[in-house]
Amino acid sequence: MLVAFNKPFNAPCQFTSGAGRRPLADFVTVKGVYPAGRLDYDSEGLLLLTDEGSLRKRIADSRHRTKKTYLAQVERIPDDKALALLRRSVKLRDGMTAVVGHPTLRLVRVGIGDWSLDGRRPGEWEVCR
């Protein structure tokens, strides 16, 4: 089974949560599925959940190079040099676009491989197969 979930801003990727945060179980009520990868608490967008261990590994493990597509709102308008650096794929520690002088203000994952948000509103999910 595969579930596509549009994770809202400041929602966790875990079914159990502490520090007064709502757990993922408050959003996705399907039993027996687990996140294939994660999104930071302050990021939003497509999160896939599955009960298939091999599919979770293929999506989450960077060695499989599953394409992930993001929309990023950044500070100021990047110039051609900054965009060229990002297109070449910079090595990230923390900060993503901050490494080229334009810190990320908002990050939304809109696609993972062949799956996309498909118009799902934040907090909405759908069983895909």
Please give the structure tokens belonging to residue 91: 């090595």
HSE-up of 129 (CA within 13 Å, CB side)? 7
Does this model's pTM top 0.85? My answer is yes
C-alpha span between 93 and 6 (Å, rounded)? 25
Query: Which residues are designated catalytic?
Result: 40
Tokens 């993922």: give the residue. Answer: 24
Question: What pLDDT does residue 63 have?
Answer: 87
Q: 104-112 and 68-74: which strand pairing?
A: antiparallel
| Domains of the chain with bracketed CATH | 2-127 (3.30.2350.10)
pLDDT tens for the chain, 129 residues long, are: 999 999 999 998 888 877 778 889 999 999 999 999 989 989 999 999 999 999 999 998 888 889 999 999 999 999 999 999 888 866 656 568 888 889 999 999 999 999 999 899 999 999 996
